[in-house]
Amino acid sequence: MRGLSACTVIVALLFLSGCSDNETSAVSVDREPEISPDYAGVTIPPNIAPLNFSVLEKADAYVVKIHGPRGKAVSVSSKNGVVRIPLGKWKTLVSENRESDLSIDISTKQQGLWGRYRSIMVRIAAETIDPYLVYRLIEPGFVRWNTMGIYQRNLETFEEVPIALNELSGKNCMNCHSFRQNDPSTMLFHVRGQFAGTVIYRNAKLTKVNVAAGAMGPVVYPAWHPGGKYVAFSVNKIVQRFHSIPEKTIEVQDTLSDVVLYNVETDRVSSCSALSSGDRLETFPCWAPDGRRLYYCSAPVVSPDEYDKIRYDLLSIAFDPDKQEFGAVDTVVSSEKTGMSVSFPRISPDGRFALICMSQYGNFTIWHRESDLYLVNITTGQLSKPHINSPQSESYHSWSSNGRWIVFSSRRTDGRFTRPYIAYFDEQGTAHKPFVLPQEDPAFYSTFLKSYNLPELVTSRVRLTPRELGAVIRSKAENPTD
Amino acid sequence: MDRMRGTTYAGLTRVAVALYFVFIFFFFAVFNKFHLIYQEQTQLFLFDRNYFLGFLSKPGGLISYFGAFCTQFFAVSWLAALLVTGAVLAIYALVKLVVRSIGLRSAVWALVPAVLIVALQSSATYPLGNTLGFLIALAFIAAYMRIKPIRIRVGFGIAGLVLLYIACGGYWLVSASACFMHELLFRRSKFRFVIAGAYAVLAACAPYFAGRHFYAVGFAGSWTNPIPSVLPVPLGFELFFVLAYVPFLMAVAAIREAFPAKVKVAAHSEIGKNGILKAILSAVILVGLPAAAYDYKSECILGMDHYAQTEKWDRVLTFAKLYPGVNRLVTYYANLALSKTGRLGDEMFAYPQNGSAGLFLPCDAVPQDLFFGGDLSYHLSFVSAAYRFAFESMVVNGPTPRSLKRLTITSLINRDYPQAQKYLAVLGKTLLYRTWASRYSAFLDNKQEPFPDNELAEKRRFAVVSDFWLEDNLTVKHLDKLLQDHPDNKAALDYYLAYLLLDKDIDAFLTKLGLCAETKTALLPIHYQEAVLMYRYAYGGAGAEGFAIADQVNRRFKDFVRAISLHKHDNDKGASSMAAEFGSTYWYYLYFGSRIS
């Protein structure tokens, strides 16, 4: 079909060759042009950086005109199809066209003839996205790592600056950065290896502590309580194995896991029987926005050989923050009913939805191609699959502070390197077509050999520098382990 | 007459220096060839804006970038030698300028840093960018010292040092200390203390400020990056001398100026009067230092690695013979070369063996093992393992041509086209590998079966079907699994049988051998025949029937049994006296271990 329309275009161009000498008198091409990244039909926040892209149609020259119902159009000419939109003009155009559609008109010149493709439409939402995205950049390796760092990207520009770099602390592993409800002034992350500990930034104070749950060892997946006084952590005994067939790569499995509660103010770790049962694995804690329920994943313990039979339920447990007491457990998503395994629950800021990953088994979804994002209506219990998934792994995700945007990790471009995708989530609970985090160089992702790990939206810049954090990481923990 | 003598002496010196640089060229082109090729193999220069910007996050990023640019040409050994020699020659010329301007005359003074750099560049891990950093720092010093007007000089000094810091990082300290000493010791300006003080303050504060606000480096790194903080033991001293040399010379010159008579007399009395002694001493330093830094064993190993990559297996075996002693990497490559040339069963005991461990290279010890060790899994058609080790190598050692090519090929074999495309896109941004990338890019659009490339098609044919766990290192368990899926995987069978021989498990060896249909019809490789004979000898022939044994092997075995019986009471003597005749047999390995151990 595509071939046919291309032929039609060529015939039309030849027929009309005498009357088409510039892009204003271009011949219409009855299809959208192919562009990379794919921004066609996406909904974008009004404060996003320019959607620079490459036109994948072969041509000698390109003219791109971006316009909306209001304001001045932005035109970009290109010889190689790479379209870099001026930041200032883009900002003006986008801010003037909130809640409207932008048209991207692309004309190409081939053998002296201009053709104009059908416009690519981009919807501008009314709601902004939190201006910073924090992620870890790391190669998606098997066991080893080398350099890694936690970075923050200003979504309104292309500026990316490091927050923490492991080169300043003996190239140790650093992971699980977490914020209290998108607040950059309350965060933590773990450091492993030589300078092991958990770095906590809270009340403008930076500390390093050892948070461990007895014999289970140091804590892993964190979730800040909305009040900022507690952090729920999972503690996991993890085994990692490697498949020999190309269809599967890595199997990461918990042999033991519990969920514990860390009181940041008293430096005490506690739990309850429901969250630390001997015959079940509890992991991936996540608080409801009101702080009165803790969501988590839970599965019966099975032997490592039965790794492909572990299926996690999504459970929740009541919590009284004043008394620091847990209550009754409720099943939100039953793996028995779905036949699938739940991981990474994240509750929307209005408390109406839980966004989860589901895969055939296990919980380390990044290595499961079949892993997709699902939406749970917490009030009705209804489970739906938003149209934001791909045949490759969709994994870690987070909400913007206003609940209108979700950012998630996806391996859809090449199956290996994780990229952050942003999707609009409207009031009706529908997720719109996602788009990859825009880069100044539209071909950036095609050669970038690191993954974007744990994308977290924050409401402003994290005011910490690698040097400050490096010094804290290298220091002794305030509560050294016995 | 004196003048003529002086001219002749100067002419001879020039000729000697020129000859010395010819020697340096050959030193790198012939004796250090594989060290330099290895450097090219362990980095990847990209013509890419983001790649360039990545260098700017640290002081000295520009020289590291330029060094990486030059290092890509190390793939051509004579060009590598030419580049290194050129850099060393430029250093010599610049030091000579500096030396002259502070009143020292001897060419040897100017040659010392050049010789030290030759020693440093003899290391496979010493990047060319560091030599270039030193070179630029010297150029700055030479220029600075020639500027007479104080205002221009100081303006040039301060502005230049800032730029030098950005471009050369830690090497600017050489220039800053030279500026400091030059003002203090050789200028008579009444402001010299102020100017020298300004340089001292700049050297102390600028890196601190830059490190705090601009660069993602630690405290010490603000001053020293990219000077390596850890070097192999002898090189650490050499690097220290290189960095300290110009300030040291300035101090010497200042002392000579302050105490002219005493120092000159001392110099004369030691070497000045005796030209021959001076020449001999110079020669010892100029040739001896590079010779001392020269690592023949590494050159052999890196040579084997190079020829293994280019699949010139006979040359791999030549280096295995040349290598003095036993090394696991040498054994690993020798066995791989024997397997690739179909000679593992015939000749493996003609090369040093250190048990079954010599077949595999552990991939979990040091990063370099990952770099070298992934080859075997590829040649065994264990594609998932080859992909994994290449990926791990890329993570640990950074992207290299080797890891990206292997990732491309394994992804193509696995029909993982999007991933192959990614690695090809990276290689497409290089100068030397874009043709390779272009060739393999054609496979992205041509997904026909069977695969239009014999080697890749064969690997695809041997693709692992049954899922099993792949540990950190390849083991015999993996060979067994590969053979369960594809009994006709000859490389895996060769390695499996070699493993059993090296493990001295003749029972298991014969069982496995008996399962292979063709072993009963074709004449077995010599070591297999030797194992069969030994089994028959030990068990009276039961269980090893049906294998054809060549007459020559039979005769040799009888000789061996006779020789063994002569030395049955003295194992050591038996080992040494039988080594020449039987050292390359399996029987010898069974009794005494490897001939060279």
Q: Is the peptide bond before A345 cis (omega within 30 degrees of 0)?
A: no
- Encode B239-255: b = buried (16+ Cβ within 10 Å), e = exposed: bebbbebbbebbebbbe
DSSP secondary structure letter of residue B183 = I
Q: Give B215 to chain A, closest Cα distance, Å.
A: 10
d(CA B284, CA B289): 8
Total length of chain B = 597
Answer whether A415 sits within 8 Å of B465, measured CB to CB. Answer: no
**Pick from A144, A146, A447: which is nearest to B48 by CB?**
A447
Q: Please, which residues have CB within 8 angstroms of residue A58's CB and are 6 or more apart in sequence?
A: A110
How far apart (Å, rounded) are the C-alpha atoms in residues A436 and A54?
14
Count of CB atoms situated within 10 Å of the CB of A79: 10
Whole-number pLDDT of residue B2: 56
**Distance from C-alpha of B228 to C-alpha of A406, rounded to nearest angstrom:** 44
Can you read off the two tokens belonging to residue B307? 């020829």
How close is the nearest chain B Cα to the Cα of A466, in Å? 7
Taking the CB of residue A91, how many other CB atoms lie within 10 A of it? Answer: 18
Is the dihedral angle over the CA atoms B258, B260, B264, B266 positive or is it negative?
negative
State the amino acid at position A76 in one-letter form. Answer: V
Partner A contacted by B399 (CB < 8 A): yes
Q: What is the pLDDT at residue B514?
A: 81
The tens-digit pLDDT sequence of chain B (597 residues) is: 555 556 676 777 788 889 999 999 999 999 999 999 999 999 999 999 999 999 999 999 999 999 999 999 999 999 999 999 999 999 999 999 999 888 887 777 888 899 999 999 998 889 999 999 999 999 999 999 999 999 999 999 999 999 999 999 999 999 999 999 999 988 888 888 999 999 999 999 999 999 888 888 888 889 999 988 766 656 667 788 888 999 999 998 888 888 875 545 444 444 455 667 777 777 788 888 888 888 999 999 999 999 999 999 999 999 999 999 889 999 999 999 999 999 999 999 999 898 998 999 887 666 677 788 788 999 999 999 999 999 999 999 899 999 999 999 999 999 999 999 999 999 999 999 999 999 999 888 766 666 677 888 889 999 999 999 987 788 899 999 999 999 999 999 999 999 999 999 999 999 888 877 665 667 889 999 999 999 988 877 666 777 888 999 999 999 999 998 888 778 888 888 898 999 999 999 999 887 654
Distance from CA of A358 to the nearest CA of B (A): 23
Q: SS3 for B545?
A: coil
Element (H, E) at B175: helix B172-181
Q: Give the pLDDT band of residue A481 (cuts 50, 70, 90).
A: low
- Asked if B72 contacts B110 with a C-beta cutoff of 8 angstroms, the reply is no
Query: Residue B445: in which H helix or E strand, if any?
Result: helix B434-445
Residue B269 token pair: 């009395």
**Model confidence at A134, in pLDDT bands (50, 70, 90)?**
very high
Q: Which residue of B has its CA nearest to A140?
A: B395
Measure in Å the smallest separation between the Cα of A168 and chain B Cα atoms: 5
CA distance readout (Å), B569 to A165, B560, B566, B594 = 64, 15, 8, 20
Q: Please list the alpha-helical segments (H only) found in B44-171.
A: 49-55, 61-71, 77-101, 107-121, 128-146, 150-168
* Residues on chain A touching B48 (C-beta within 8 angstroms): 447
- Which tokens go with A465? 């520098």
- The two structure tokens encoding residue B74: 């190390």
- Give the minimum alpha-carbon distance from B59 to chain A in angstroms, rounded to a whole number: 14
Q: Reading across the β-sheet that carries A222-224, which strands appear in turn?
A: A222-224, A230-242, A250-263, A268-270
CB contact under 8 A, A441 and B49: yes
Confidence of residue A4 (pLDDT cuts 50, 70, 90): very low
The answer to whether A139 contacts B394, with C-beta atoms less than 8 Å apart, is: yes
Segment A171-178 mean pLDDT: 93
CB A465 within 8 A of CB B213: no
Spell out which residues of chain B touch residue A246, defining contact as CB-CB under 8 Å. Answer: 383-384, 387, 414-416, 463-464
What does the DSSP assignment read for B347-399?
Answer: HGGGS---SGGGGS--SSS-HHHHHHHHHHHHHTT-HHHHHHHHHHHHHHH--
Contact B429 A146 (CB under 8 A): no
Are B392 and A448 within 8 A, CB to CB? no
Cis amide bond preceding A37, omega within 30? yes
Alpha carbons B450 and B460: distance in angstroms, whole number = 9
Query: Å from A261 to nearest chain B CA?
Result: 35
- Count the alpha carbons within 13 Å of B86 in the hemisphere toward its beta carbon: 9
Residue in the structure block whose two tokens are 């270039």: B132
- Tell me what percent of the residues of chain A surpass a pLDDT of 70: 94
A233 contacts A276 by C-beta, under 8 angstroms? no
Q: Strand A419-424 and strand A27-29: pairing?
A: unpaired
Burial class from Cβ neighbours inside 10 Å (0-12, 13-18, 19+) for residue B261 reads exposed
DSSP calls for A87-156: HHHHHHHHHHTTTSEEEEEEEEEETTEEEEEPPEEEEEPSSPPPSEEEEEEE---SS-----EEEEEETT
Tell me whether residues A449 and B394 touch, CB distance under 8 A.
yes
A178: Cβ contacts below 8 Å, ≥ 6 apart: A187, A188, A189, A222, A223, A224, A231, A456
Helix (H) / strand (E) element for B529: namely: helix B526-539
Of B217, B202, B214, B212, nearest to B172 (Cα)?
A: B202
How far is the C-alpha of B358 from the C-alpha of A321, rounded, in Å?
61
Please confirm whether the linkage preceding A131 is cis (ω < 30° from 0): no
Residues of chain A found within 8 Å of residue B415, distances taken between Cβ atoms: 246
Query: Rounded CA gap, A451 and B45, in Å?
Result: 21
Closest partner residue to A245 (CB to CB) among B219, B388, B464 is B464
Amino acid at B456: L
Average pLDDT, chain A: 92
List the single best residue of B470, B482, B486, B489 to mutate versus A (max A Cβ within 10 A).
B470
Asked if A241 lies within 8 A of B469 by C-beta distance, the reply is yes
Query: Hey, which residues 202-241 in chain B have their CB within 8 Å of chain A?
Result: 211-212, 216-219
Q: Hey, which residues 327-386 in chain B have their CB within 8 Å of chain A? A: 364, 370, 382-385
B539-560 as b/e: b if 16+ CB within 10 A? eeeeebeebebeeebeebbeeb
Kind and range of the H or E element at A61? Answer: strand A61-67
Q: Show the DSSP H helices in A429-476 as ranges.
A: 444-447, 466-474
Alpha carbon distance B475, B495 (integer Å)? 10
Instruction: For residue B52, give both structure tokens.
Output: 């360039």
Q: Count CB-CB contacts under 10 A for residue A68.
A: 19
User: How far is A320 from chain B, CA to nearest CA, in Å?
Assistant: 43
Flag if B469 and A243 touch (Cβ within 8 Å): yes
**Which residue on chain B is closest to A444 by alpha carbon?**
B50
Partner residue facing A467 (CB), from B49, B212, B426: B212
Q: How far is A251 from chain B (nearest CA, A)?
A: 10
Sign of CA dihedral A69, A70, A76, A77: positive
Tell me which residue in A145, A162, A415 faces B419 most closely, judged by beta carbons: A415
Q: How far is CA B153 from the centre of its chain?
A: 42
C-alpha–C-alpha distance, residues B127 and A209, integer Å: 39
- What is the distance between the alpha carbons of residues A377 and A77, in angstroms, rounded to a whole number? 46
| Spatial separation of the C-alpha atoms in residues A339 and A235, rounded to whole Å | 25
| CA distance to partner chain B, nearest, from residue A159 (Å) | 13
Residues 6+ away with beta carbon under 8 Å from B573:
B567
Q: Where are the alpha helices (DSSP H) in A267-401?
A: 335-338
- Specify the pLDDT at position A216: 83
Residues 49-68 of B with CB under 8 A from A: 49-50
Residues of A in contact with B444 (CB under 8 A): none
Measured between CA atoms, how close is B469 to chain A, in angstroms? 5
Dig out the tokens for B214 from the structure.
């601009």
Per-residue pLDDT, averaged over A267-275, amounts to 92
The reported pLDDT for the residue numbered A386 is: 96
Count the helices and strands in chain A (H runs, E runs): 5, 34
**Chain A CB contacts of B471 below 8 Å:** 242
Nearest by Cα to B537 from B513, B510, B512: B510
Write down the pLDDT at residue A13.
44
Strand duo A372-377 + A383-384: pairing: antiparallel
Residues of chain A in contact with residue B212, where contact means CB-CB under 8 angstroms, are 467
CB contact under 8 A, A243 and B467: yes
- Is the per-residue pLDDT at A2 higher than 60? no
ipTM score of complex: 0.91
**CA of A157 to nearest chain B CA: how many angstroms apart?**
16
Q: CB of B116 within 8 A of CB of B109? A: no
- Select the more confidently predicted residue: A213 or B562: B562
A438-454 pLDDT tens trace? 999 999 999 999 999 99
Other CB atoms within a 10 A radius of the CB of residue A113 amount to 22
Q: Do A168 and B218 touch (CB under 8 A)?
A: yes
Q: A300-329 pLDDT, tens per residue? A: 999 888 999 999 999 999 999 999 999 999
Read off φ and ψ for residue A118, nearest 5 degrees.
-60, 145
Q: Which of B212, B470, B481 sits opposite A242 (nearest CB)?
A: B470
Residue A329 per-residue DSSP state: E
The rounded distance, in Å, linking the Cα atoms of A204 and A465 is 13
Q: Say how far apart CA A453 and CA A12 lie, in whole Å.
A: 48
- Smallest Cα–Cα separation from A191: which of A168, A161, A225? A168
Q: Tell me the backbone φ, ψ of residue B96, rounded to 5 degrees.
A: -60, -45
Contacts of A141 in chain B (CB under 8 A): 391-392, 395
Q: What is the pTM of this model?
A: 0.92
DSSP bridge pairs for A355: A346, A375
Q: Which of A242, A414, A417 sits opposite B469 (nearest CB)?
A: A242
Interface probe with A: pick from B388, B444, B480, most Cβ of A within 10 Å: B388
